[in-house]
């Protein structure tokens, strides 16, 4: 897809900002009630600082990562900061994006989050949305499904991953302090990750169908 990357980041930022209270309420249940506030502050700053005319995808994503690292506190700042910096890797110097690039970006994002957070899938974190999403995207690409179908499957897997976080105990991050009492609540970071993927899908649908 020819990429209007600023608009895509704007779409993600708008979705995060719209869900600020929802994400914060989720974090109130099993954390310290700041996830939505943190992420909304970060993306408000991203949208203010990001150059609208930069077309190098890698440069834009690196900038997003740097702003999130500097503006978002808590666990999610360094984790999302790393995620966007790593997403830049496969598209440095590129101005257009393929779905295959998207898959490589998601792989790099997951590897970066794992490296930074030392978590694995099943610990009630953003990885529980992102890893199933990557698997669904990979399967769609292997099947030769069209982009819309691949992105639908990716987002559905992310949503199912978020649902799954309700059934498990947190063993990483602040929610792990609650032990078994974290069961029954959905993970805020997995939720913001699913919201991000959904925004990317919507951006695609609105611009490239």
Size of the site for Mg ion (CB under 5 A): 6
Q: CB 63: neighbour CB atoms within 10 A?
A: 19
Residue 32 binds Mg ion, judged by CB under 5 A: yes
| Residue 19 partner contact from Mg ion, ligand ADP, none using kind-dependent CB cut-offs of 5 to 8 Å | none
Q: Are 136 and 156 in contact (CB under 8 A)?
A: yes
- According to CB under 5 A, which one of 8, 11, 34, 158 is a site residue for Mg ion? 34
- According to CB under 6 A, which one of 11, 13, 15, 27 is a site residue for ligand ADP? 27
Residue 187 binds Mg ion, judged by CB under 5 A: no
- From the list 12-20, 30-38, 97-105, 132-140, the region that binds ligand ADP by CB under 6 A is 30-38
Size of the site for ligand ADP (CB under 6 A): 24
Taking residues 163 to 202 in sequence order and writing x for each that binds ligand ADP by CB under 6 A, - otherwise, the string is ---------xxx------------xxxx------------
Whole-angstrom Cα distance, residue 63 to residue 69?
A: 10
Tell me which residues in 103-122 interact with ligand ADP (CB under 6 A).
113, 117-119
Residue 31 binds Mg ion, judged by CB under 5 A: yes
Residue 198 binds Mg ion, judged by CB under 5 A: no
Residue 81 binds ligand ADP, judged by CB under 6 A: no
């Amino acid at each position: 897809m020819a990429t209007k990357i600023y608009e895509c980041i704007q779409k993600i930022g708008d979705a995060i900002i719209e869900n600020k209270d929802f994400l914060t309420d989720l974090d109130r249940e099993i954390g310290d009630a700041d996830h939505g506030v943190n992420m909304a502050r970060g993306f408000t700053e991203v949208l203010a600082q990001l150059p609208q005319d930069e077309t190098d995808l890698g440069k834009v994503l690196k900038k997003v990562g740097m702003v999130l690292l500097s503006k978002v506190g808590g666990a999610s700042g360094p984790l999302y900061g790393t995620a966007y910096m790593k997403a830049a890797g496969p598209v440095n110097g590129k101005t257009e994006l393929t779905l295959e690039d998207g898959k490589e970006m998601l792989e790099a994002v997951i590897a970066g989050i794992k490296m930074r957070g030392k978590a694995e899938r099943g610990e009630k974190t953003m990885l529980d949305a992102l890893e199933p999403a990557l698997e669904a995207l990979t399967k769609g690409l292997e099947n030769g499904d069209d982009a819309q179908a691949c992105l639908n499957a990716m987002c559905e897997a992310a949503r199912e991953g978020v649902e799954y976080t309700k059934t498990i105990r947190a063993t990483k991050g602040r929610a792990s302090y609650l032990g078994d009492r974290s069961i029954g609540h959905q993970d805020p970071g997995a939720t913001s990750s699913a919201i991000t993927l959904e925004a990317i899908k919507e951006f695609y649908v609105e611009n490239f169908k």
